[in-house]
């Protein structure tokens, strides 16, 4: 007999998904505003890209602590806090008189999204029957995939009509809708009674490693590596591992990495996010700068692929429930690799139409492999560890998203022009797709448990 899903559970998930989608969409909606913001704040593209990178860092750091916060305070308080922080951050960003104030608003929005995204997947894992996990994880993956790709179209509409500030103000409808849907459906669950004290030092060390790592990558534009930042990143990360293994306090259970299957699926998930957000920044800017396409059309070029990928994500989830992960992983990554190879070969002839069509193929392959990897990585993880696995999964992919936008901005600043930078970025992503194939092969040789 088919298991049914209560309406309140569906509304709870949709409420959290709305807030997560709003946070992710506003992140990429700003990408098409970069040429305008460069003039408004009289600064470089590398400084303006921090509008995206600062947001993603805030998301990443917040996600690392989301599992503990949910266990300690419960889902309802986390959901309410995420809505309130989103409203404040959006108002601050929309009213910002300077780049520094805009960045402060973006950090607040990132904190909100860092709470909302893990909450959405936790609700799916705890309130959806096992037989339908694939479909609903596919819906969650659809939100994560749809929102960043829809953002440039949304941003382009306002850039050419009401201005960049309207991008923020109109988005305030998102937390209102989330509050209406979730007020009665998101109810307090029983919290962990014997929760160990929070491991503050592990959290600080990981945060330092993440932030210094992004700063180091951001400074690569100068043509050299900042040795001090590299050393801080490595030392902080190694110290985090040592402290986490020895500590009896609660933060992230890094012992999950002992699972071969979890680790070899986590890495592709983060690389797909790297590719998605990197191209989400470069492609609209390429169209505006090289082919002189309007901001609206530049953003719109990603929309058809985004919508098709969004519609297909639950379909891929349903296929996962029926046939498992292996075929979907290899087919999806094959389409992903083929699209990147084609775009790398025809970069110099690319225009609005070729980018739109190529991005459709790219998104179909990426969505198939991304949603399947994300579902398979947590499927089989013990229930007691799923919130930790989810926090690691969401946090690492957002960090790689920050790396993706930073690296893409560096390629976009190529001295030979953004066209050459975009082609080189395509080749880098194609090599990554080959490495993902290798990981899938090793993952399927023998699955290991936590």
Instruction: State residue 149's pLDDT score.
Output: 64
**Predicted local distance difference test score (pLDDT) of residue 193:** 60
Q: Could you give the CA distance from residue 435 to residue 369 in angstroms, rounded to a whole number?
A: 14
Is the pLDDT at 237 greater than 70? The verdict is yes
Report pLDDT for 222.
Answer: 59
pTM, 2 dp: 0.74
Class of domain 7-187+250-445: mainly alpha
Q: Which of 82-86, 177-181, 251-255, 440-444 shows the lowest mean pLDDT across its residues?
A: 251-255
Provide CB contacts within 8 A for 1, sequence distance 6+: none
Cα–Cα distance measured from residue 169 to residue 383, given in angstroms and rounded to the nearest whole number:
39
pLDDT at 1 (0 to 100): 42
How far apart are the C-alpha atoms of 279 and 404, rounded to whole Å? 8
Question: Given this model, what pLDDT does residue 448 score?
Answer: 44
Residue 306: the pLDDT is 80
For 64-110, the pLDDT digits (tens) are: 888 788 878 888 888 899 999 999 999 998 888 888 898 999 999 98
Q: Which residues pair with 408 in a beta bridge?
A: none
- Which has more confidence, 11 or 44? 11
Give residue 236's pLDDT band: very low, low, confident or very high (50, 70, 90).
Answer: very high
Please name which of 63, 443, 121 lies closest in space to residue 259, comparing C-alpha atoms: 443
CA 422 to chain CA centroid, nearest Å: 21
Q: What is the pLDDT of residue 268?
A: 92
Mean pLDDT along residues 176-197? 74
Ordered by start, the domain boundaries in the chain are 7-187+250-445, 196-249
| Higher local confidence (pLDDT), 187 or 90 | 90
- Model pLDDT, residue 334: 95
Work out the pLDDT band at 272, boundaries 50, 70, 90: very high
Residues 312-329, mean pLDDT to the nearest whole number: 83
Range of lowest pLDDT (129-138, 158-167, 279-288, 395-404): 129-138
Evaluate if residue 134 carries a pLDDT over 90: no
pLDDT band at 415; cut points 50, 70, 90: low
Ordered alpha helix ranges (H), 74-188: 75-94, 99-127, 133-159, 165-169, 173-185
pLDDT of 227 over the 80 cut: yes
**Integer CA distances (angstroms), 350 to 2, 346, 362, in order:** 48, 6, 15
Residue 31 and residue 285 in contact, taking contact as beta carbons nearer than 8 Å: yes
Above 60 in pLDDT, residue 2?
no
Q: How many CA atoms lie within 13 A of 427 on its CB side?
A: 10
Q: Decide which of 444 and 270 is more confident.
A: 270
Q: Residue 167 — very low, low, confident or very high, per pLDDT cuts 50/70/90?
A: confident
Percent over 90 (pLDDT), the chain: 18
CA distance 39 to 295: 15
Please state the rounded mean pLDDT for residues 168-192. Answer: 80
Q: Is the pLDDT of residue 16 over 50?
A: yes
Check residue 450 and give its pLDDT.
47
| Per-residue confidence (pLDDT) for residue 246, from 0 to 100 | 82
């Amino acid at each position: 007999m088919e298991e049914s899903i209560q309406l309140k559970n569906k509304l709870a998930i949709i409420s959290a998904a709305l807030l997560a989608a709003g946070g992710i969409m506003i992140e990429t909606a700003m990408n098409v505003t970069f040429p305008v913001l460069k003039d408004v704040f009289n600064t470089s593209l590398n400084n303006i890209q921090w509008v995206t990178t600062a947001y993603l860092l805030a998301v990443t750091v917040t996600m690392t602590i989301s599992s503990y916060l949910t266990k300690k305070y419960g889902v309802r308080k986390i959901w309410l806090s995420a809505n309130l922080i989103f409203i404040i951050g959006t108002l601050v960003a929309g009213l910002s008189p300077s780049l520094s104030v805009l960045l402060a608003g973006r950090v607040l929005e990132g904190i909100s999204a860092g709470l909302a995204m893990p909450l959405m997947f936790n609700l799916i894992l705890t309130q959806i029957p096992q037989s339908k996990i694939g479909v609903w994880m596919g819906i969650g993956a659809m939100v994560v995939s749809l929102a960043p790709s829809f953002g440039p179209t949304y941003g382009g509409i306002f850039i050419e009509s009401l201005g960049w500030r309207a991008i923020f103000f109109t988005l305030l409808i998102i937390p209102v809708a989330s509050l209406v849907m979730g007020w009665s459906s998101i109810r307090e669950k029983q919290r962990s009674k014997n929760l160990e004290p929070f491991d503050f030092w592990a959290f600080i060390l990981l945060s330092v490693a993440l932030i210094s790592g992004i700063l180091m990558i951001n400074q690569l534009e100068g043509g050299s590596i900042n040795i001090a930042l590299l050393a801080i990143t490595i030392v902080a990360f190694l110290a985090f591992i040592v402290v986490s293994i020895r500590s009896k306090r609660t933060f992230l259970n890094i012992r999950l990495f002992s699972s071969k299957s979890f680790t070899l699926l986590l890495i592709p998930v983060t690389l797909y996010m790297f590719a998605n957000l990197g191209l989400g920044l470069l492609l609209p800017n390429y169209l505006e700068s090289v082919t002189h396409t309007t901001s609206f059309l530049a953003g719109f070029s990603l929309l058809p692929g985004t919508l098709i990928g969004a519609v297909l994500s639950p379909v891929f989830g349903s296929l996962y429930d029926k046939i498992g992960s292996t075929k979907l992983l290899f087919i999806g990554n094959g389409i992903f690799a083929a699209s990147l190879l084609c775009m790398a070969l025809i970069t110099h002839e690319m225009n609005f139409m070729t980018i739109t069509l190529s991005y459709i193929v790219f998104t179909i392959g990426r969505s198939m492999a991304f949603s399947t990897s994300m579902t398979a990585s947590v499927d089989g993880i013990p229930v007691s560890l799923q919130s930790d696995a989810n926090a690691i999964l969401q946090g690492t992919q957002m960090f790689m998203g920050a790396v993706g936008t930073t690296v893409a901005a560096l390629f976009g600043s190529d001295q030979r022009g953004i066209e050459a930078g975009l082609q080189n970025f395509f080749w880098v992503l194609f090599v990554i797709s080959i490495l993902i194939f290798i990981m899938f092969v090793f993952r399927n040789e023998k699955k290991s448990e936590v």
